[in-house]
Chain A
Amino acid sequence: MTKVSSIPKTAFPSTHSQPEEGSEGEEEDDMASHSTEDPSETGSTGLPDCGDSIDLPTFEQILEMDDDEDEREFSKSIVYGFFEQAEATFEKMIASLREQELATLSSLGHFLKGSSATLGMTKVKDSCEKIQHYGAHKDDAGQSTDMEDTVLLKKIKATVATVKVEYKEAERILKQFYHDPEH
């Protein structure tokens, strides 16, 4: 809670933030504003300006695991593995939304949270965390709440929509980085 309350000072208006979670969105932008400085500092990866979608330091440490900087075999396999995982998880989420299985949604959110965090997809991660919380009858800050299941499901639905947008943005950037012909 303290974390959230201290955030609004940061003056980075977020285009992606959901109305009811403006503070969270701004927090992301706050982080992202740091990461945007990084390309000039590191300059080694040739990553496009991924803005607030990807936390560069986190992602770059995966890139560092690459043996070959041109092939980027390892990181590419990780990233594309994540793409598959994310797509599959989104589908499961939507299915679970239909089934109104909050617990499943929570664990799905947690699952995707872990890997998106690993890749530095900060926004996706945060949204996934929210899904996890909502599914566990918690509010977006992780505090237990007595919100109705329907409300929670609604929130989850909105968050899933958001997270897909966030994911798509990150995916676009990463595919660009890996010179994927589709982009």
Chain B
Amino acid sequence: MTELSARLKPLFRRSSTFSSTKSSASGSSTTSDALGDGHTWSKGSFRLSKNRKPSLPISVFEENEPLPQPPGALPLTPTEKPRFTRRNKKETPDTSPETPRSPPLEKQNPILTVEAPTPKLGTRSGKAPEEESSPRDSGHLAGTDAGTTIGSQRPGIAHRRRSLTHQEQSKDISSLLGSQSPALQPTKTDYFGGISVSADMVPKKIWVKRPGSSATQVAIKEDDLVDDVRDTILRKYSNSLGRNFDPPDVTLRIVYRKQSARHSNSERTLGPEESMLKLIEIHYPGGQSVEEALMIDVPKRQTPRHSPRMAMQYYLPEDLRPHENGTDYFPPMPSAAQHSPHLPTSLSVSSAQGGSHHPPAHSMAILTTGQLPNLPSPGGRARHSQNNRPRYGRQHTSSPTVVQTASIALNHENLKASQQPMPTPPIPEEMTPHKTATPPPRVASPRPKPNNNKRTKKPVDQAPQPANTTVPPINVLIVEDNIINLRLLEAFMKRLKVRWSTAMNGRDAVTKWREGGYHLVLMDIQLPVMNGLDATKEIRRLERVNSIGVFSNSASSTPTFPKGAGIDGTVGGEDSLMNTALFKSPVIIVALTASSLQSDRHEALAAGCNDFLTKPVNFEWLTRKVMEWGCMQALIDFDGWRKWKDFSQTKPADAEKKGIGANNSKSPKAALNGKAQSTPKRDRMASLGLGGKENTGSDGTGTDTLSNGDSGSGH
């Protein structure tokens, strides 16, 4: 029988919980009302299970929406059984079967009857709890005998109908219940013969608390077992515990008031089968004080470094106690962390919610950059990095080193910018045909010199820490005659963990490029022997005559070759490239120019550069360029870079394998190419339509816009 009543408990408690929630939510009744309400409810439900009579919840409801039986009047008769069973089955449609029955109580409390909510209102508001309770009811129905069935239905009904009660009535109901309960008390003891607890000794609420938190009261019923209390507690801690733990996970500890002779320990974990009230009675005669709150323990999901909890220090001074709900989203305060008993719980809960004891600002950064800022290790003092947090956070959110997603976003941005009528430099005649085969020039890119003013505002320690894992493993050719710049660029490349080679003049650059396998060329413009523009033109010419990046199946992009070179790569003489398989696509040439002149940029773009960077090369920008272009190239030359991944540093000289790769990659490459080139073509059209003269101005605006946006995001 104890077991049965234990089973019934959740249902009762549910109704009481709802009533208190509702009344507090309504705002019309105070918290104490809500508490009092719940309190009384538990009493009522106690009475029901004891007497096997219509429960108090039901009788309360009868006052609202009358039932035939006056409370406490009728024991369950066989005739009632079918009625309840039937009603339970019909639960969903309506409560109409009950409404006609007018009980005597209605006369006693006519006001309540009048104020009872209409069924229409009730069906809406009562729906959710109804659905929630019905599976439980049916579960009980299936597994138990008839007597149990009735008993278990009743609370369900009571609960369901209780939810129909208008929220503002909770006060009335509680006062009603309060007035009724003394009369009902005499019947208490006969049911639970074993537990003879006099009513005034019974604490209606017990104090519980989580280690390190402040105590809180939960309402219990007289016959509640520890098991039931766990349920109640999880509802009380619905955020911090209820989302992560099930009632069986929770253990309750009782801390003895004083070191009694009987107990060698000062505390004990409560078994689920123990009666809560009895425990309280025994251990805290005269009532449980706040300090004697039962400890709620939840299993640790990660082993913290701290020592096992110490028994005594549970109660923190008021000012040191972290807010109860705060443990979810914020790491434990240092003061709390010093108390080792408190930490396990906080840690376990927070770790269960995604390790949020790290400042949340980092999580995204870690995701996007794949790099963990200098945070303390999980076992360490979580608060340690607090001082640095804003800095780290900003650094990473503004970081341009982010992975492909960010690059794509960036590309969108650039796309947008470049879709505006953008100027192009006057294109020399010979350049026109092969433009289609070369990746688009990037018109809106690095800042012109005046914009450096903006950049100076940015603290440099926000400069990206290159996300090593995310930079595509491209091969970069650095063409730079100034040893200082060259060394710095090399350092950048080292930092980006990409492969690179260097060339000190334009002739060198072309020679190196002919070896193949380069994805990106950083080309200084003014170079000895052969300047960067000439080297660029030469590279583009060679690409053209070797049909690099030209696909014969895409007719629209098939250029007419003025020099008569065959599309299928039948190029004779010194112009032919050794390993065409190493040239999956036109190389991206990013011009490096210290010039602040627009004309120089236009010249560079006209020569066939795709992009340009202004000196001094900003690492942030360089990273961005390497990312953007590198990702694109890596996509185009997927097989190639997969090979590099495999062979890592070994020379990519095995051309035979590459040949296979080239064939295989043809179709995806074509698709990609079409995608990549559709936009540039549009750009070109637009810019050509605009004409050349006033381009300088509009180019400046375009670049400015981009730079502004960038510097804005950097802060």
Chain A positions within 8 Å of B, measured between CB atoms, are 2-3, 27, 30-31, 34-35, 37-38, 41-42, 44, 55-58, 60-62, 64-65, 74, 77-78, 81-82, 85, 107, 110-111, 113-115, 117-120, 122, 125, 129, 142
Contact A62 B618 (CB under 8 A): no
The answer on a CB contact under 8 Å between B526 and A107 is yes
The contact sample of 10 A-B pairs, CB cut-off 8 A, is A3-B449, A42-B460, A44-B461, A57-B458, A64-B463, A82-B484, A107-B526, A107-B528, A114-B526, A119-B616
Chain B residues positioned under 8 Å from A110 (CB to CB): 526, 594
Closest to A58 in B: B616
- A118 partner residues in chain B, CB cutoff 8 A: 482, 484-485, 488, 615-617
**Chain B residues with CB under 8 A of A2:** 697, 700
Q: Say yes or no: is B264 at the interface (Cβ < 8 Å to chain A).
A: no
CB <8 Å contact, B484 and A61: no
> Are the CB atoms of A37 and B485 closer together than 8 Å?
no
Chain B contacts for A30, CB-based, 8 A: 453
Task: Digitize B237-269: 1 where CB-to-A-CB distance is under 8 Å, 0 elsewhere.
Answer: 000000000000000000000000000000000
A111 CB contact (under 8 Å) in B458, B481, B491: B481
Chain A min CB distance to B118 (Å): 65
- Contact residue among A60, A114, A122 (Cβ-Cβ distance under 8 Å from B485): A114
Contact indicator A60/B460 (Cβ below 8 Å) = yes
A38 in contact with B487 (CB, 8 Å): no
Residues of A within 8 A of B61 (CB): none
Chain B residues in 8 Å Cβ range of A142: 595-597, 599
State the CA gap A2–B637 with chains docked (Å). Answer: 43
- B456:A65 contact, CB within 8 angstroms: no
Chain B residues whose C-beta falls within 8 Å of the C-beta of A115 in the assembled complex: 482-485
Complex alpha-carbon distance, A118 and B485, angstroms: 6
CB distance from A57 to the nearest CB of B (A): 4
Whether B488 contacts A3 by the Cβ 8 Å rule is no
Chain A residues contacting B483 (CB-CB under 8 Å) are 81, 85, 115
Residues 517-567 of B contacting A (Cβ, < 8 Å): 524, 526, 528
Q: How far is the CB of A105 from chain B (nearest CB, A)?
A: 14
New A-B contacts (11) at CB < 8 Å, excluding given A114-B594, A125-B594: A38-B456, A42-B460, A55-B456, A65-B491, A81-B487, A111-B481, A113-B615, A114-B482, A119-B484, A129-B594, A129-B596
A38 to B462, CA, bound (A): 12
Q: How far, in angstroms, from A107 to B596 measured CA to CA in the complex? A: 16
**Closest chain A residue to B617, Cβ basis:** A118
**Is the pair B488, A31 in contact by a Cβ cutoff of 8 Å?**
no
A81 lies within 8 A of B484 (CB):
yes
Determine the distance from Cα of A34 to Cα of B457 in the docked complex, in whole angstroms: 6
Question: Do B459 and A3 touch (CB < 8 A)?
Answer: no
Chain A CB within 8 A of B52 CB: no
Contact B455 A57, beta carbon cutoff 8 Å: yes
The binding surface of chain A is classed by DSSP as helix
Q: Name the one of A38, A60, A65 contacting B488, with C-beta atoms under 8 angstroms.
A: A65
Q: Given A118-B615, A129-B594, A142-B597, A62–B457 Cβ distance below 8 Å?
A: no
Q: How far is the CA of A117 from the CA of B452 in the complex (A)?
A: 11
Q: How far is the CA of A118 from the CA of B622 in the complex (A)?
A: 13
| Cβ-based interface call for B194 (8 A) | no
Residues B459 and A42 in contact, CB atoms below 8 Å apart: yes
**What residues of A have a CB within 8 angstroms of the CB of B481 in the complex?**
111, 114
Interface residue B107 (Cβ < 8 Å from any Cβ of A): no
Q: How far, in whole Å, are A123 and B488 apart by their CA atoms in the complex?
A: 20
Which single residue of chain A is at the shortest CB-CB distance from B495? A65
Q: Which residues of B contact A74 (CB under 8 A)?
A: 491
The answer to whether A61 and B594 touch across the interface, beta carbons within 8 angstroms, is no
Q: For the complex, give the distance between the alpha carbons of A42 and B461 in Å.
A: 6
Give the CA-CA distance A142 to B593 in the complex, in Å: 14
Q: From the candidates A3, A77, A82, A85, name the one contacting B450 in the complex (CB within 8 A).
A: A3
CA distance A120 to B480 in the complex (A): 18
Q: Of residues 585 to 609 in B, which have CB atoms within 8 Å of A's CB atoms?
A: 594-597, 599
Chain B residues whose CB sits within 8 angstroms of the CB of A61 once the complex forms: 460, 463, 618-620
* B486 nearest CB across to chain A (Å): 9
Q: For A121, give the chain B residue with the smallest CB separation.
A: B616
Which of B452, B528, B619 gathers the greatest number of chain A CB atoms within 10 Å?
A: B452
Within 8 A of A (CB), among B436-495: 449-450, 452-453, 455-461, 463, 480-485, 487-488, 491-492, 495
Which of chain B's residues have a CB closer than 8 A to the CB of A55? 452, 456, 616
How far, in angstroms, from A142 to B597 measured CA to CA in the complex?
Answer: 8
Q: Hey, which chain A residues are within 8 Å of B616, CB to CB?
A: 55, 58, 117-120, 125
A80 CB, min distance to chain B CBs, angstroms: 10
Contact in complex: B482, A111 (CB < 8 Å): yes
Roughly how many angstroms separate A120 CA and B455 CA in the complex, as a whole number?
A: 12
B488 partner residues in chain A, CB cutoff 8 A: 62, 65, 78, 118
For A57, give its contact among B460, B482, B526 (CB under 8 Å): B460
Complexed CA–CA distance, A147 and B456 (Å)? 35
**Distance of A64 Cα from B463 Cα, bound (Å):** 9
The complex places the Cα of A122 from the Cα of B614 at a distance, in Å, of 13
Shortest B500–chain A CB gap in Å is 14
Please name all residues of chain A whose beta carbon is closer than 8 Å to the beta carbon of B524 when the two chains form the complex.
Answer: 114
Q: When the two chains form their complex, are residues A113 and B453 in contact, meaning their CB atoms are under 8 A apart?
A: no
Check B461–A37 contact: CB distance below 8 A: no
Residues of A within 8 A of B463 (CB): 57, 60-61, 64
- C-alpha gap A118/B453 in the complex (Å): 15
**CB-CB nearest in chain A for B600:** A142
- A65 → chain B closest CB, angstroms: 4
- List the A side residues contacting B456 at CB < 8 Å: 31, 34-35, 38, 55-57
Q: A174: shortest Cβ distance to chain B, in Å?
A: 13
A171 to chain B minimum Cβ distance, whole angstroms, is 14
Closest residue of chain A to B449, judged by CB? A3
Distance from B573 Cβ to chain A, minimum over Cβ atoms (Å): 33
Instruction: Report B-chain residues with C-beta under 8 Å of the C-beta of A77.
Output: 487
Closest 4 CB pairs of A and B: A60-B460, A115-B484, A57-B460, A34-B456
